[in-house]
Structure formats: structure tokens, C-alpha cells
Amino acid sequence: MAAADNPSPSPQSRRIVFTGAAGGIGTMIRPLLAKIYPGLILSDKVEPKDLQPGETFVAADLARPDEVAAAVEGADSVIHLGGYSVEGPWDSILQSNIIGCYNLFEAARQAGVKRVIFASSNHAVGFYPRKRRIGTDVTVRPDSRYGVSKAFGEAVGALYADKHGMIVTCLRIGNVGPRPLDVRRLAIWLLPEDLVQLIRIGLDHPDIRFEILYGASDNATAWWDNARASELGYRPTGKSEEHRAHAEAEQARIGPDAVGDAFQGGSFCSLEFTNKVERAGP
Ligand code: 15L
């Protein structure tokens, strides 16, 4: 089934909560999602400045179970992009991405939410070497506290899928934007429109229970085998090679990174690194 052939049945009757709506990715995909799923309930700590007619906003701090419960009340599906989106101090990751992620799944269960899309990250597997191609069945090898929190989120998603029958789709997102920012991103770039395709699979596909999919466009230098996403109808339209010249020019400005250049997670691997490259990763 192609995602494009699978429009949401009666989108007006659905109540879809979108956490992290005011963040970087949230801001990019909100207008694209609103065309397919009108009446999205947006949630974040702060209200987006450009709230559109038809959009509702509920403020929620993910670390506060009562606020998360109020945000997901009455929802049938949740797109969970909320949380800390880069490496950070342990307490920030703990509150937003560990406690916050658990609060989200638990509140969703209590509210009878049927489907959750969880924004995982490539940093859950960032210590795989660039020369290795990996599927979604490999052991996690996080490259940061942030990556650990994403591996945790995938595990919580699996628990709620297996124990409670929630339909959970974890997207190991690469880097979302209009074009790849450097040579590493040529392998992991995700066009916003392609992310929306993956979210549609999670929200609408009839035959899924728990899925981990890579959030990447049609990138010739990809490190990831995204066969399961293809099986589910994913047809990415972004092609990173079309932006190679720009990515290489940006890379020349960044310069080499002996640790980061060896691993898929790039600079997340080199941050605070005290090991030897040959002793890191599988
Ligand atoms: C991520 O998971 C981050 O949220 C984003 O800020 C980028 O750093 C991205 O990964 C990346 O790997 O480029």
C-alpha cells in the first residue's frame, strides 16, 4: 500500500495530538500535516506564534503527568515529537525524554489512545561505523545521553505495543530540513514531506503493531536498510545527491573530526569522547 493511496478515513472525526509542535521539526511539518489531518491539537511548553484557524493549542510540560494527561485527553492518536532534541545535561534529558516519554505513553494508555508515533533518532544507533549498513533489528548503540533516551523511548513503545495493544511506530529520524547540511547528512537527510509520509503510515496503516523505521529520504549514500518502510508503502521523494555540491561546500567549512567522521552519529560521538576510535562501536 502506498502511503499516498491511504488517506486517513474521515480525518475530521480524528483527534490527533501533536507534541513538540513549536519545535524545529514541528514547525516545518505542521502546515503539511494540517492539509491531511485538519484540526490537529498542538502541544508544547510554549504556544507556537503562528497558530492557524482550526489548530488548537494545549500547553504541557512532558515532565508533569497531569499536564500530559490533559493534553492527550480524548485523543485517538499522538504524534510525539516533544522533548529535548540534542545532547544535553542529564537532568534535562531525564525530565524531558525519559520521564516525559514515559508520562506520554502512560497518559496515552489511560486515555485510550490507539496509535502513537514516537520521534526516535539516528543517535540511538550512532556508534555504528559509517562503513556498516544497518537495519532496524540491530542492537542499539547510543552515542549520547540523548541517544540513550531515544533507545529508552523505543523500548517504552515496544512495551505499550506488546502489553497494551497500542499501535506504535518509532521513527529513527536522521536530519530533517529542506536540504542536507553536510556530507554526513547526505546519508541521513529527511525531506519534511517524506517525514509526513512516514507519519501517515504510523497513523493510518492497517497492518502494523510495533514498527521501527528509519526517517531518511531516498539517499544514495544511506547507511540504513529501510526495507520495512518500503514494504509499508513509503516512497521517499527527496534525493540527497541533488544537493551534494552544497553539502560538500558546507563540509569543507566544518573540517575533519577524527571521531565523528568514523561513526554514523557524527559530532554526537565525539562530544565528551575519552575512548580510542578503534575500541568504540560494534
Ligand atoms: C537529531 O536527532 C537531532 O534532533 C537533530 O538536531 C540533529 O542533530 C540530527 O539528529 C542529526 O543527527 O543530524
Residues paired with residue 58 on neighbouring β-strands, in sequence order: 43
Q: What pLDDT, in 10s, does the model give residues 165-181? A: 999 999 999 999 999 99
For the whole model, what pTM was predicted? 0.96
CA 273/CA 76 separation, integer angstroms: 42
Give the pLDDT mean for 89-104: 98
Ligand 1 atom 8: residue of nearest CA? 86
Please report, for the chain, the start and end positions of each structural domain, with discontinuous segments joined by +. Answer: 10-279
Distance from Cα 112 to the centre of ligand 1, integer Å: 31
Chain centre distance of CA 34: 18
The correct answer on CATH 3.40.50.720 for the domain covering 10-279 is yes
Q: What pLDDT, in 10s, does the model give residues 190-246? A: 999 999 999 999 999 999 999 999 999 999 999 999 999 999 999 999 999 999 999
User: Which numbered atom of ligand 1 lies nearest the CA of 25?
Assistant: 4
Ligand 1 atom 9: residue of nearest CA? 175
Res. 2: pLDDT tops 80: no
Among 173, 183, 264, residue to substitute to test ligand 1 (most atoms within 8 Å of Cβ): 173
Distance from Cα 174 to the centre of ligand 1, integer Å: 6
Residues in contact with ligand 1 (CB, 6 Å cut-off): 85-86, 121-123, 173, 175, 185
The answer to whether 214 is a known catalytic residue is no
Residue 141's identity, in one-letter code, is R
- Compute CA distances 56 → 32, 47, 76, 89, whole Å: 16, 10, 16, 32
Q: Are 223 and 128 in contact (CB under 8 A)?
A: yes
